[in-house]
Amino acid sequence: MSLSTAHKKETLPEQQRKEVSTSKYSGSTESLRVADPLSDPEYSPLQAKLSLKFAAIDDTTRLVERDRFGPLLVQKPLYPEGDEICHVVIIHPPGGVVSGDQLEMSAQAGTSAKVQITTPGAAKWYKSTGRTARQTIKIDVDKGGLMEWLPQETIFFNNTNVAIDHQVTLNGDAMYLGCEILCFGRTLSGEVFNNGKIKQRTTIKRDEKIIWFEQISLNGEDSGQNRSLSLGNHTICATLLFTGKTIPNTVIDQARLECKSISKDIGQFGVSQLKSVLVARYLGNSSEIARQVMLCCWNLFRQEYFGRNGTVPRMWNT
């Protein structure tokens, strides 16, 4: 059974990179989900790719190239903070990832380009029929550039089978801030993640040298995931990674104090300034508290590395 997909590439010569026309997905969600992966043995997993390139031109960061295949896209670039930083929203029309689906996303920020990427809603990884659903994210930032990766929550349904690979490559003094909020099971629906497999790997390189490598491998059937060195009986894990500048200890202490007030000592929160990477992490049972904690850290740190307050993506409030 074939999938209804779309492929489009936009490359603009430099002299014409003043505006990039909106590229819209040319198919409906229904045309993609023509079969139920849980009941139709002929269901073909979905494949989608999205590649974005940004460049700083005349003191404005512009989206200069888009190459996409399938139901992954961005619409019009946004500039809520002015021309210096370009905001884009990655849209996945089907709304969730099922057994065997494969998503690939890449974003390249050229010299001095500043970009913020987010999503319009939570990513949902549904029950698997046995095949692994995969997502690969590749981010490249050139010298003087900045990339903020701020997707909304990722929800793993029980019985999911997922592999996620997140790769960041930095050159020179490039800066990167990435934040992920992982939700294990639909706790509001009374669901517990006690069956399924989740593998996630995050790698950050600067000038070809690995400065951060982390991977998790959770097996829902294994009680070890609830040990103190893993989830510790929590259902939410939020992580913020920043590299490019050293955040002063006074700001880190302020983040600890404010986040303690937000969480009301429910769950666990910590911040560590390592040699090359700053790490903030929250473990708890409330995605809303996790979001508030991460946004608090992001706003405080952003004032240091970017010289301005964080502008919460408007998609987060819809």
Residues 80-137: tens digit of each pLDDT: 999 999 999 999 877 788 888 899 999 999 999 999 999 998 888 888 877 888 999 9
Instruction: Tell whether 166 is covered by a domain.
Output: yes
**pTM across the whole model:** 0.84
Instruction: Tell whether 43 is covered by a domain.
Output: no
Contacts of 13 by beta carbon, 8 Å cutoff, 6+ apart? none
Encode pLDDT of 254-292 as tens digits. Answer: 999 999 999 888 888 999 999 999 999 999 988 899 999
Instruction: Tell whether 36 is covered by a domain.
Output: no
Instruction: Tell whether 56 is covered by a domain.
Output: yes
Instruction: Tell whether 267 is covered by a domain.
Output: yes
Instruction: Tell whether 21 is covered by a domain.
Output: no
Residue 156 near residue 182, CB atoms below 8 Å: yes
pLDDT of residue 279: 97
Instruction: Tell whether 157 is covered by a domain.
Output: yes
Report which residue type is found at 132: T
Domain span including residue 302: 49-317
Residue 242 near residue 301, CB atoms below 8 Å: yes
Encode pLDDT of 13-58 as tens digits. Answer: 443 333 333 333 333 333 334 344 555 555 677 889 999 999 999 9
Instruction: Tell whether 153 is covered by a domain.
Output: yes
Contacts of 276 by beta carbon, 8 Å cutoff, 6+ apart? 206, 211, 212, 243
Q: What is the largest CA-CA distance in the chain?
A: 59
Q: With left for phi above 0 and alpha for psi between -120 and 50, is residue 195 left, alpha or beta?
A: beta
Residue 166 near residue 151, CB atoms below 8 Å: no
In which element (H, E) is residue 262 found?
A: helix 249-263
237 SS3 class: strand
State the total domains in the chain: 1
